[in-house]
């Protein structure tokens, strides 16, 4: 198979900084789209993978799964994309497309294992896949997304992970006009949850431990801010929420939030990929309440999310960085020192 060399940034070990590398990408096969990467978001998952926090990293790690780029070449079987198109690539670049999950457009739950954008088995070149911290990528056409031309391309990048991670549960649980929706945590995920819930017509309550975040939450579209440290305020909202989106990225006590749910209402976890503190079953039983989880979304749903963003002019709040600043950006993400997503300008990688 013919390959092309690309500049990239990656980590050789879990304790190493990201540094310049050269990687190989395949030239397009008949069903492939070749993409020049313009922008790539920095996701906290990138940091977890680089530092082997989940004990499944394969090195070298080239992170990045919030990719925006321009099509430079397409395979002979590709008809939906043409040279020059603005496109996106998210967390997946392939799946078996034959199992029940894939047939239901739930490729993220592929029963034979989805091929993730980085650190998955590379069925074409061997080894493992490399992500978007690079100058280009070649992807099967079924995993390439059309980006609405009216959106700010660089601010669209985080929609490919932070966006779909928050959109999918709101869509799956049919959040809409008249619903009272809580969003727990105001970070990269939470700020998108607020924007989406507001655009869907819900009454949005930002639930936070930080009074300092109130003003920004309202700027993003929250109608009200609830301090979870204020016992009286929490009691006043008991049993009033139709849906809660919990974006907190670490294990924590979810019992106070369960108490906020109406009968038959659901709280969906999207942030804490680790053990939670003990849940009191009484909070669930006394009200037939539910706690669920959600992982990104399938390709069809991701395209629906991008189209919705195009219709409502929704993008992420971002701060741009050059590739050479990525290590300091990682530290700032860990310290929650960004509003609300870093995006790398890939033009800086060509220098």
User: For residue 146, what is the domain's CATH number?
Assistant: 3.90.180.10
Q: What is the pLDDT of residue 292?
A: 98
In total, how many domains does the chain have? 2
Q: What is the dihedral of CA 130, 155, 215, 203, to 10 degrees?
A: -90
Block residue for tokens 């949005």? 204
Are 22 and 141 members of one domain?
Answer: yes
User: Does 145 have pLDDT greater than 80?
Assistant: yes
Residues 226, 233 contacting (CB under 8 angstroms): yes
Confidence band, pLDDT 50/70/90 cuts, at residue 350: confident
260 pLDDT above the threshold of 90: yes
67-87 mean pLDDT: 98
Position of tokens 């008991």? 238
Average pLDDT for residues 109-123, to the nearest whole number?
Answer: 97
Looking at the structure, tell me whether residues 72 and 135 fall in a common domain. yes
340 and 235: one domain?
no
Residue 179 banded pLDDT, cuts 50, 70, 90:
very high
**301 is a domain residue:** no
Give the mean model confidence (pLDDT) for residues 337-344: 96
pLDDT grade for 91, boundaries at 50, 70 and 90:
very high
Instruction: Say which range, 203-207, 217-221, 261-265, 273-277, has the weakest mean pLDDT.
Output: 273-277
Do 229 and 266 lie in one domain? The reply is yes
User: Residue holding tokens 């280009």?
Assistant: 136
Question: Mean pLDDT over residues 196-219, rounded?
Answer: 96
Percent of the residues in the chain that have a pLDDT greater than 90, as a whole number? 98
Structure tokens of 66?
């919030």
* Mean pLDDT of the 122-135 span: 97
> Is there a contact between 296 and 159 (Cβ–Cβ < 8 Å)?
no
Distances (CA, A) of 224 to 150, 167, 202, 261: 30, 20, 12, 16
pLDDT exceeds 80 at position 72? yes
Please compute the mean of the pLDDT values over residues 190-198 and round it to a whole number.
Answer: 98
306 domain-assigned: no
Residues 267 and 328 in one domain: no
3-state secondary structure the chain: CCEEEEEEEEECCCCCCCEEEEEEEECCCCCEEEEEEEEEEECHHHHHHHCCCCCCCCCCECCCCCEEEEEEEECCCCCCCCCCCEEEECCEEECCCCCHHHHCCCHHHCCCCCEECCCCECCCCCCECCCCCECEEEEEHHHCEECCCCCCHHHHHHHHCHHHHHHHHHHHCCCCCCCEEEEECCCHHHHHHHHHHHHCCCEEEEEECCHHHHHHHHHHCCCEEEECCCHHHHHHCCCCEEEEEECCCCCCCCHHHHCCEEEEEEEEECCCCCCCCCCCHHHHHCCCCEEEECCCCCHHHHHHHHHHHHHHCCCCCEEEEEHHHHHHHHHHHHCCCCCCEEEEEHHHHHC
Q: What does residue 88 show for φ and ψ, rounded to 5 degrees? A: -130, 155
Please check the confidence at residue 148 and state whether its pLDDT lies above 90.
yes
pLDDT in tens, 6-61: 999 999 999 999 999 999 999 999 999 999 999 999 999 999 999 999 999 999 99
Pairing of strands 67-74, 203-208: unpaired
Domain span holding position 192 = 163-293
Report phi then psi at 188, rounded to 5.
-60, -40
Q: What is the mean pLDDT of the chain?
A: 97
Say yes or no: 189 and 289 in one domain.
yes
Q: Is residue 305 part of a domain?
A: no
Please report whether residue 343 resides in a domain.
yes
In a domain, 307, yes or no: no
Q: Is residue 310 part of a domain?
A: no
Is the pLDDT at 300 greater than 80? The verdict is yes
Q: What is the C-alpha to C-alpha distance for residues 217 and 205, in angstroms, rounded to an integer?
A: 9
148 and 192 within one domain: no
Mean pLDDT of 131-137: 98
User: 351 pLDDT exceeds 80?
Assistant: no
Residues 145, 167 share a domain = no
How would you classify the pairing of strands 203-208 and 180-184? parallel
Phi, psi (rounded to 5 degrees) for 251: -60, 140
Domain contains 231: yes
What is residue 337's predicted lDDT score, i.e. its pLDDT? 95
For the purposes of burial, counting CB atoms within 10 Å of the CB of 95, is it exposed (0-12), middle (13-18) or buried (19 or more)?
A: buried
Minimal CA–CA distance to 269: which of 286, 285, 257, 281?
Answer: 257
Task: Judge if 7 and 153 occupy the same domain.
Answer: yes
Same domain, 12 and 149: yes
CATH code for the domain in which residue 239 is found: 3.40.50.720
> Residue 90 corresponds to which tokens in the numbers above?
């998210």
Bridging pattern class, strands 3-10 and 19-26:
antiparallel
Max CA-CA distance within the chain? 65
Are 199 and 275 in the same domain?
yes
Q: Are residues 224 and 76 in the same domain?
A: no
Q: Is residue 288 part of a domain?
A: yes
Kindly tell me if the per-residue pLDDT of 1 is higher than 90: no
Report, as an integer, the average pLDDT of 71-100.
98
pTM of the model: 0.96
């Amino acid at each position: 198979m013919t390959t092309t060399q690309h500049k990239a940034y990656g980590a050789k070990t879990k304790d190493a900084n990201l540094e310049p590398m050269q990687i190989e990408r395949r030239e397009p096969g008949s069903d492939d789209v070749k993409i020049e990467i313009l922008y790539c978001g920095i996701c906290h998952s990138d940091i977890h993978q680089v530092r082997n926090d989940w004990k499944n990293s394969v090195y070298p790690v080239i992170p990045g799964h919030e990719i925006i780029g321009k099509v430079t070449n397409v395979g002979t079987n590709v008809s939906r994309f043409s040279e020059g198109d603005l496109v996106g690539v998210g967390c997946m670049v392939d799946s078996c497309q034959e199992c029940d999950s894939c047939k239901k457009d739930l490729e993220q739950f592929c029963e034979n294992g989805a091929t993730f954008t980085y650190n998955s088995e590379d069925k074409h070149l061997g080894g493992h896949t490399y992500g978007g911290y690079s100058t280009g990528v070649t992807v099967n056409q079924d995993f390439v997304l059309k980006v609405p031309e009216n959106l700010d391309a660089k601010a669209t990048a985080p929609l490919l992970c932070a966006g779909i991670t928050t959109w999918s549960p709101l869509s799956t649980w049919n959040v809409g006009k008249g619903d009272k929706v809580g969003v727990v945590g105001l970070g990269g995920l939470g700020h998108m949850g607020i924007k989406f819930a507001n655009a869907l017509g819900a009454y949005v309550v930002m639930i936070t431990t930080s009074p300092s975040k109130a003003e920004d939450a309202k700027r993003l579209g929250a109608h009200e801010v609830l301090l979870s440290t204020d016992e009286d305020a929490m009691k006043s909202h008991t049993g009033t929420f139709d849906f809660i989106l919990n974006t907190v990225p670490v294990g924590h006590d979810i019992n106070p939030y369960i108490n906020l749910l109406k009968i038959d209402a659901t709280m969906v976890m999207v942030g804490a990929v680790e053990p939670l503190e003990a849940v009191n079953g009484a909070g669930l039983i006394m009200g037939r309440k539910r706690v669920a989880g959600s992982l990104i979304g399938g390709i069809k749903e991701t395209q629906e999310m991008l189209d919705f963003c195009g219709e409502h002019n929704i993008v992420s709040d971002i701060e741009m960085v050059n590739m050479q600043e990525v290590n300091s950006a990682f530290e700032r993400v860990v310290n929650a020192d960004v509003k609300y997503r870093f995006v790398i300008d890939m033009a800086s990688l060509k220098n």
